Structure 1
Amino acid sequence: MLKRLTLALTVLLAAPVASAETFVFTAIPDEDETRLQQRFQNVADYLEEQLEVDVRFVPVKSYAAAVTAFRNNQVQLAWFGVQARARVPNSRALAQGVEDAEFMTYFIAHQSTGLEAGEGLSDKMRDMTFTFGSKGSTSGRLMPEYYLREAFGQPPEEVFSRVGFSGNHSRTISLVASGAYDLGAVNYTVWENEVEAGNIDTDQVEVVWKTPNYPDYQWTIRGDVDERFGAGFADRVQKALLNMEDPELLESFPRSGFIPASNDDYAIIESVGKELDLID
């Protein structure tokens, strides 16, 4: 009996101890929640294998919800824009998509406006209706508002007859395509992806202006993850992201790959955000 107890105890002590911690990440909802879950579940599986900890993806319903979850430590890693990181002290940008170093916002218009590509931000747009994406989005609000103010010398509310916030880029496209809004600002990668998938009737809605390039999306991690998951954990997460090469995984974003990023890369965006009182 004693031998059996000793053997059982030896086996128990030799077995790997499962971590009680789960590493949770999220992404800003540039599409509806169901599609986000489908896109990022495989990414969660990949990170779990690379990091050897439990990993879970949690979809959120809004940009603000992503920021709140990150701030409250409900998620430790997030795929989102600059404003979110700026609101969480000690957070660190780890990686950005190859395309994110030179990102763009597309201004799209319903065919009834008569606007055509190449006209720029012209006075023809005055008194039309316009929708941004999420109120906190860099590509869906901050940068397009900056260029609108630069072009018209006025805030959007004084340029357009009605200004709205769709909540995400896919919805912006739908609202403009349906004629609910004349104009909208949309993340260029979402637009290109939807066109390629055949989800946009370009006879009804088209791109009429493209912003200059700016840095945007990034993977950002909380500054306290090493305390929770062990020394060097943030660096291990960065390595896993940079080594993500599977085309199917990259299509989730969609990006062609990831490159290193640091907080300093986004100083210009933070400056614009503070100028517009969109970042504290």
Structure 2
Amino acid sequence: MKLTHLLSASFLSLFSTFALSATFTFTAIPDEDESQLRTRFDKVAVYLSEQLGVDVKYIPVKSYSAAVTAFRNNQVQLAWFGGLSGVQARRLVPGSEAIAQGFEDQSFKSYLIAHHSTDITPSESFPLLNDYTFTFGSKDSTSGRLMPQYFIERNLDKPIEKIFKRIGFSGDHSRTISQVEAGVYQVGAVNYKVWDTAVEKGEVDTSKVKVIWESPSYPDYQWTVRAGVDNAFGEGFKEKLTQVLIGMTDKDLLASFPRQSFVPAQNKDYEPIERVAKTIGMLD
């Protein structure tokens, strides 16, 4: 019995040492230029490491689907997902939870933008888009594909393939803006935060590209944590992580998202996204 107790104590000690020395990893959907993402999330990694008392590493990925795959395979334990990619990841790893979202993500929006040559007039009513060329962002983007497709098809009462002359997928919101500004595509769908921030920084030539329609609001980005982090990093780790994310108050750090703050989130907040994805055939 004494030997058994000694072995049990040794195992617990070893486990505790592993939990303290293990690296907590996270990723984010590549919704903007990769260099901007690395600058943003390397700073987040430093903040999390200081607040959590564990080594934290940001792992970049090349696509939205790669972010979901990394989460599924336990290559990362936390991810900054869009609404749809978060739903996809939590379906693949039962027990995973949305724990925090940006204040703005409670009522997110998409813009439709158009090249000046289209002469489409900005309006509260839905624009006629027949026979234009059109680009979404990533194929799995909530604000750059899922919700815009849903609103377009609902308002024009036909599938996108019967509306546009040509459809593309730029890969991220920054490229969508660049491609429409350059006239590669006549119209595109973009995350309103990326657009507004780029305009504020003077990175968009608004004489060449403009917003022609603003969508109704919907829930979007969130931090999702993988099931089992308390087992790997110690009892109460998930709750501490949640509070650390919600407690992020550094203005420079928040501006890099850009968000004014983070607020609590839960899986049920994203049920509307799951319903829309099923409606347009992106989820079973």
TM-score w.r.t. the length of structure 2 is: 0.90
Aligned Cα RMSD in Å? Answer: 1.5
Number of the residue aligned with 1:272: 276
Number of the residue aligned with 2:202: 198
Number of the residue aligned with 1:76: 77
| Aligned partner letter, 1:158 | K
Distance 1:183 1:75 in 2: 35
* Aligned positions of 1:167-246 closer than 5 A: 167-246=171-250
What is the CA-CA distance between 1:119 and the residue it aligns to? 6.0
Number of the residue aligned with 1:160: 164
**1:119 and 1:97, CA in 2 relative to 1: closer, same or farther beyond 3 A?**
closer
1:99 paired with 2:104, answer yes
Distance 1:98 1:104 in 2: 13
Distance 2:85 2:98 in 1: 11
Within the candidate set 149, 160, 181, 1:145 is matched to 149
What is the CA-CA distance between 1:84 and the residue it aligns to? 2.0
What is the CA-CA distance between 1:32 and the residue it aligns to? 1.6
Equivalent pair of 2:120/2:127 in contact (CA under 8 Å): no
What is the CA-CA distance between 1:252 and the residue it aligns to? 1.6
Distance 2:167 2:176 in 1: 12
Number of the residue aligned with 1:132: 136
Distance 1:230 1:117 in 2: 53
SS of equivalent to 1:214: coil
* Aligned positions of 1:242-253 closer than 5 A: 242-253=246-257
**1:111 and 1:140, CA in 2 relative to 1: closer, same or farther beyond 3 A?**
same
Once the two structures are superposed, what CA deviation does each residue of 1:181-227 show, in whole Å capped at 9, x if it has no partner? 00000000000110011100000000000000111110111111111
Distance 1:269 1:223 in 2: 21
Once the two structures are superposed, what CA deviation does each residue of 1:79-128 show, in whole Å capped at 9, x if it has no partner? 112222222322200011111111000000000000121163333x2000
Once the two structures are superposed, what CA deviation does each residue of 1:161-195 show, in whole Å capped at 9, x if it has no partner? 00111110000000000000000000000001100
Distance 1:264 1:183 in 2: 33
Equivalent pair of 1:85/1:92 in contact (CA under 8 Å): no
| Aligned partner letter, 2:236 | G
Structure 1 stretch displaced more, 130-139 or 79-88: 79-88
Distance 2:67 2:17 in 1: 31
1:34 paired with 2:39, answer no
Number of the residue aligned with 1:4: none
| Aligned partner letter, 1:156 | I
SS of equivalent to 2:95: coil
Structure 1 unaligned regions, length at least 5? 1-12
Structure 2 unaligned regions, length at least 5? 1-12
| Aligned partner letter, 2:275 | S
Percent identity, please: 55
Distance 2:265 2:26 in 1: 18
| Aligned partner letter, 1:231 | E
Distance 2:95 2:183 in 1: 43
| Aligned partner letter, 2:282 | L
Distance 1:213 1:82 in 2: 12
Equivalent pair of 1:120/1:208 in contact (CA under 8 Å): no
* Number of residues of Structure 1 aligned to a counterpart in Structure 2: 265
TM-score w.r.t. the length of structure 1 is: 0.91
* Aligned positions of 1:35-50 closer than 5 A: 35-50=36-51
What is the CA-CA distance between 1:275 and the residue it aligns to? 1.2
What is the CA-CA distance between 1:20 and the residue it aligns to? 3.5
Equivalent pair of 2:137/2:144 in contact (CA under 8 Å): yes
